[in-house]
Amino acid sequence: MTVTAIPGDQDPVALLLICDNCGRAYEGESRRPWITLWAEAIGTGWRGRDRAIGPHLCALCPV
Domain that holds residue 42: 6-57
- What is the model's pLDDT at position 41? 92
- What is the model's pLDDT at position 9? 61
- Cα–Cα distance between 22 and 40 in angstroms, integer? 19
Residue 45, domain member (yes or no): yes
Evaluate whether 2 touches 50 at the Cβ level (below 8 Å): no
Residue 51, domain member (yes or no): yes
Q: Kindly report the pTM of this predicted structure.
A: 0.76
> From edge to edge, which strands make up the β-sheet containing 6-7?
6-7, 15-18, 25-26
Number of domains making up the chain: 1
Residue 62, domain member (yes or no): no
- What is the model's pLDDT at position 27? 82
Residue 1, domain member (yes or no): no
Residue 35, domain member (yes or no): yes
- What is the model's pLDDT at position 11? 61
Evaluate whether 11 touches 40 at the Cβ level (below 8 Å): no
- What is the model's pLDDT at position 8? 60
- Provide the residue-wise pLDDT of the chain in tens; the chain has 63 residues: 455 666 566 666 667 888 999 999 888 776 678 888 899 999 999 999 988 888 999 999 987
